[in-house]
Amino acid sequence: MLGAVLTRTQQLVTVFGGSGFLGRYVVRSLAQRGYRIRIAVRRPDLAGHLQPLGKVGQIHAVQANLRHRGSVEHAVDRADAVVNLVGILRQTGRQTFGAVQADGAAGVAEAARAAGAPLVHVSALGADPDSASLYARSKADGEAAALAAGAAVFRPSLMFGPGDSSFNRFGSLARVMPVLPLVGADTRFQPVYAADVGEAIARAVDGDVPAGRVYELGGPEIRTLQELVAYVLEQTERRRPILKLSPGLGRIQAIVMETLDLLTLGLLPNELKLTRDQVLLLQHDNVVSPQAEAEGRTLQGLGIEPTAYQAIVPAYLIRFRAAGQFDAGRLAFPSPPPDTIAPDESGARGAHLRPGEPVGPAVGQRAAR
Ligand SMILES: NC(=O)c1ccc[n+]([C@@H]2O[C@H](COP(=O)([O-])OP(=O)(O)OC[C@H]3O[C@@H](n4cnc5c(N)ncnc54)[C@H](OP(=O)(O)O)[C@@H]3O)[C@@H](O)[C@H]2O)c1
């Protein structure tokens, strides 16, 4: 995508939404490649955590709001490539799906085209102009505008990684709720590691991903929402019944939560928030399509081996256990069950083991990436 005339350290990439969850991974991948990075967000003061990902002066944040075209054009000025990660899961005030994910995305696409900068756009699996969900329709509109500007479009499934709002959400809920009501319990997801998505985006910025296409990004395994929640309960050592809700009951739960959120002026904890639009989304599987697989429009097709959630998630779910991170010590030095102790040269089972020495990696050490 970017020509080889300029070295990467001379090339500037504007990343809209760089301060968000996925932003951290995208910025890290771009910074490791040497690009200069301009983070464009509404609150640049909240992007300070990205500074350690690059060298001094390599990453800086500017104020930009997708709802204000002028600020978008300024943020794209003299950029060699543009990445749009902006998305919202719920509408609040002027932050509507249409304004941010459809019109806002169109504004970024037009500004990038006018500046002659290649565009990488992040949408979501389930984006569909005919969906009953406003979120999914606005994502489809945003995709259409990005494709018209010649972008590479990425549609991730549910993303995981430290700081995610999926596995952490259920870990947090299980800590305080005696029962976990679950709408969309049988809906299938393909959890994808945010670092793999970040790598795919960085490769697109490098020019190694054919543009003008939609890529569907999922992890190596497909699981129902109920299976994922059961996994969280297992990892956090919590016993909580999962109460499967029909779409009708889910809608009632959403109405209650939306009303509580209004009454508390938006102060309802994020973990408890649920909207009717999300209930609509939860009725459709969120997995990579067979067409995308056949055409290689996947992580594997881009040469990226997707990471399993079991390799990453346990390390950051441990804080939701009854004794939090202090449980890590217990797991780091487990007493090996007798039948797994291998004989040493002397033939004595377990004679090679020293009391107090770890027999396996600590849970926290597994999150190597
Ligand atoms: N997380 C997932 O599991 C998932 C799954 C599928 C697709 N996606 C998509 O992936 C993308 C990244 O998701 P994420 O989880 O990283 O989201 P996130 O953590 O909520 O980050 C969203 C980013 O957008 C910025 N933003 C919001 N409104 C804006 C506006 N009007 N103008 C400029 N910036 C704005 C936010 O910063 P400020 O608020 O400071 O402006 C933040 O940096 C989104 O497009 C999302 O739809 C996410």
Taking the centre of ligand 1 as the mean of its atom positions, its distance from the CA of residue 86, in whole angstroms, is 4
Is residue 2 classed as helix, strand or coil in its secondary structure?
Answer: coil
Pairwise CA distance, residues 240 & 192, whole Å: 25
CB of 157 closer than 8 Å to CB of 218: yes
Parallel, antiparallel, or unpaired: how do β-strands 223-224 and 188-189 relate?
Answer: antiparallel
- Asked if residue 64 has its Cβ within 6 Å of ligand 1, the reply is yes
Taking the centre of ligand 1 as the mean of its atom positions, its distance from the CA of residue 68, in whole angstroms, is 16
Checking 352-359 for CB contacts under 8 A at 24+ apart, the result is 357/333, 358/332, 358/333, 359/333, 359/334
Pairwise CA distance, residues 101 & 146, whole Å: 11
For every residue of 146-172, DSSP letters joined together read: HHHTT-EEEEE-SEESTT-SSHHHHHH
Radius of gyration of the chain (CA): 22
Pairwise CA distance, residues 98 & 91, whole Å: 9
Q: Is the pLDDT of residue 90 over 60?
A: yes
The answer for residues whose C-beta is within 8 angstroms of residue 173's C-beta and 6 or more apart is: 180, 271, 272
Q: For a substitution probing ligand 1, which of 88, 94, 135, 170 has the most ligand atoms within 8 Å of its CB?
A: 88
CB of 204 closer than 8 Å to CB of 152: yes
| Average pLDDT over all residues of the chain | 90
Q: Give, for 197, the enclosing helix (H) or strand (E).
A: helix 194-206
Q: For a substitution probing ligand 1, which of 14, 16, 22 has the most ligand atoms within 8 Å of its CB?
A: 22
Report field, pTM of the whole predicted structure over 0.85: yes
Nearest CA to ligand 1 atom 25: 17
Q: Is the pLDDT of residue 355 over 90?
A: no
Where does the pLDDT of residue 364 fall: very low under 50, low under 70, confident under 90, or very high at 90 and above?
very low
Domain 8-150, CATH class in plain words: alpha beta
- Asked if residue 68 has its Cβ within 6 Å of ligand 1, the reply is no
Nearest CA to ligand 1 atom 6: 124
Which atom, in ligand 1's list, is nearest to the CA of 47? 40
CB of 153 closer than 8 Å to CB of 112: no
- Asked if residue 192 has its Cβ within 6 Å of ligand 1, the reply is no
Mean pLDDT calculated for residue range 162-183: 96
What does the chain come to in residues? 369
Pairwise CA distance, residues 61 & 69, whole Å: 17
Pairwise CA distance, residues 188 & 228, whole Å: 10
Nearest CA to ligand 1 atom 41: 42
Nearest CA to ligand 1 atom 46: 87
* Bridge partner residues of 82 (DSSP): 14, 119
- Asked if residue 41 has its Cβ within 6 Å of ligand 1, the reply is yes
Q: Give, for 37, the enclosing helix (H) or strand (E).
A: strand 36-41
Residue-wise pLDDT for 284-334, tens only, equals 999 999 999 999 999 999 999 999 999 999 999 999 998 887 766 555 544
Q: For a substitution probing ligand 1, which of 42, 123, 168, 287 has the most ligand atoms within 8 Å of its CB?
A: 42
- Asked if residue 87 has its Cβ within 6 Å of ligand 1, the reply is yes
The answer for residues whose C-beta is within 8 angstroms of residue 75's C-beta and 6 or more apart is: 14, 16, 38, 40, 62, 64, 111
Structure tokens at 148: 């018209």
- Asked if residue 50 has its Cβ within 6 Å of ligand 1, the reply is no
At 340 the pLDDT is 36
Residue with the bigger pLDDT between 364 and 1: it is 1
Number of other CB atoms surrounding residue 184 within 10 Å: 23
Task: Count the alpha carbons within 13 Å of 363 in the hemisphere toward its beta carbon.
Answer: 19
Q: Is the pLDDT of residue 71 over 60?
A: yes
Where does the pLDDT of residue 184 fall: very low under 50, low under 70, confident under 90, or very high at 90 and above?
very high
Q: What phi and psi values does residue 196 have, to the nearest 5 degrees? A: -70, -40
- Asked if residue 19 has its Cβ within 6 Å of ligand 1, the reply is yes
- Asked if residue 245 has its Cβ within 6 Å of ligand 1, the reply is no
Residue-wise pLDDT for 187-242, tens only, equals 999 999 999 999 999 999 999 999 999 999 999 999 999 999 999 999 999 999 99
Pairwise CA distance, residues 236 & 84, whole Å: 34
Is residue 237 classed as helix, strand or coil in its secondary structure?
Answer: coil
Taking the centre of ligand 1 as the mean of its atom positions, its distance from the CA of residue 89, in whole angstroms, is 8
Structure tokens at 246: 């029909």
- Asked if residue 69 has its Cβ within 6 Å of ligand 1, the reply is no
